[in-house]
């Protein structure tokens, strides 16, 4: 039996079929070990370009490269067996033309073996989305607050406010749905708009700061684990990893300094003849 046949991973088609059904649950992961934990509980794992901010301390996701995404995509695929793995297309790797997007998306799928890619953008990315889907690349869309557009949005701002804002977000979601995306991340969108979109398009919606009205939810793992002091309003800290890491680091440094570590249990002894 081949390795692939032993465990059947969820696919983009499985996720698309969950519209209106059980909630779809997702987290980001960038490493094999966290992917292994997330894999046991989530339907899909996103290798988000948020890794630039979370792992590398960048101020935005704009400097993230294709090579960074492929490297961490590999790690997450190695650490997981069941969940669909979706890898973000970084800024500059898909916006120029459908051909550029296909070239880089196919590189991601071939080199990581992930099951889908995610691209940010609404109506202006519909043609590219259709181009990729028609050529065998499952696409997850991302509308509303699109962090890669931080420089034109003037900051990370909630979307869908006012008549014009609502119309833009709704048109964006509809265009990406019509183009054949299997799911759409809706980020930073006010609740009534997120609800209306979810109820009116056939594509599953995955909310992050877009209310419980969506078909599923996603958070950045490190945010909900409490690794960062500050988190946006829409994040609930389900853990306090920062305190836990700090306590452990402090205990280790104290133990080395006071001579209690390494203790007898941590020392290799010569073999007895
Ligand atoms: O990069 C990322 O982690 C994302 C999520 C916030 C949806 O796109």
249: in domain: no
Per the structure, the count of domains in the chain is 1
For residue 118, give the ligand 1 atom closest to its CA: 8
Q: CATH code at 55? A: 3.20.20.60
- Residue 50: CB within 6 Å of ligand 1? yes
- Among protein residues, the one with the nearest Cα to ligand 1's atom 3 is 48
95 given a catalytic annotation: no
Residue 144 token pair = 């509303």
246: in domain: no
136: in domain: yes
**144 strand-pairing partners:** 187
255: in domain: no
Distance 180 CA to ligand 1 centre (A): 20
58: in domain: yes
257: in domain: no
132: in domain: yes
41: in domain: yes
- Residue 183: CB within 6 Å of ligand 1? no
pLDDT tens track, the chain, 273 positions? 454 456 799 999 999 999 999 999 999 999 999 999 999 999 999 999 999 999 999 999 999 999 999 999 999 999 999 999 999 999 999 999 999 999 999 999 999 999 999 999 999 999 999 999 999 999 999 999 999 999 888 777 777 778 888 999 999 999 999 999 999 999 999 999 999 999 999 999 999 999 999 999 999 999 999 998 888 899 999 999 999 999 999 999 999 999 999 999 999 999 887
pTM: 0.94
Domain holding 180, by residue range, is 7-240
For residue 185, give the ligand 1 atom closest to its CA: 7
């Amino acid at each position: 039996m081949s390795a692939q046949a032993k465990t059947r991973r969820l696919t983009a088609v499985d996720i698309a079929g969950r519209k209106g059904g059980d909630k779809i649950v997702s987290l980001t992961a960038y490493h094999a070990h966290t992917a292994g934990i997330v894999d046991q509980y989530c339907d899909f794992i996103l290798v988000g370009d948020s890794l630039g901010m979370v792992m590398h301390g960048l101020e935005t996701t704009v400097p993230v490269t294709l090579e960074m995404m492929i490297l961490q995509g590999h790690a997450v695929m190695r650490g997981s067996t069941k969940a669909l793995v979706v890898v973000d297309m970084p800024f500059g790797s898909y916006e120029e033309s459908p051909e550029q997007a296909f070239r880089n998306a196919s590189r991601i799928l071939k080199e990581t073996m992930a099951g889908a890619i995610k691209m940010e953008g609404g109506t202006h990315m519909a043609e590219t989305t259709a181009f990729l889907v028609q050529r065998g690349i499952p696409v997850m869309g991302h509308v509303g607050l699109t962090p890669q557009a931080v420089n034109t949005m003037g900051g990370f701002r909630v979307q869908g406010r006012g008549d014009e804002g609502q119309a833009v977000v709704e048109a964006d979601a509809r265009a990406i749905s019509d183009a054949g995306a299997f799911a759409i991340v809706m980020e930073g969108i006010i609740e009534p708009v997120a609800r209306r979109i979810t109820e009116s398009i056939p594509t599953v919606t995955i909310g992050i700061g877009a209310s419980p009205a969506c078909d599923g939810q996603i958070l950045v793992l490190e945010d909900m684990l409490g690794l960062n002091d500050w988190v946006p309003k829409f994040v609930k800290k389900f853990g306090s990893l920062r305190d836990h890491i700090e306590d452990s680091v402090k205990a280790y440094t104290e133990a080395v300094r006071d001579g209690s570590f390494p203790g007898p249990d941590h020392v290799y002894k010569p073999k007895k003849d």
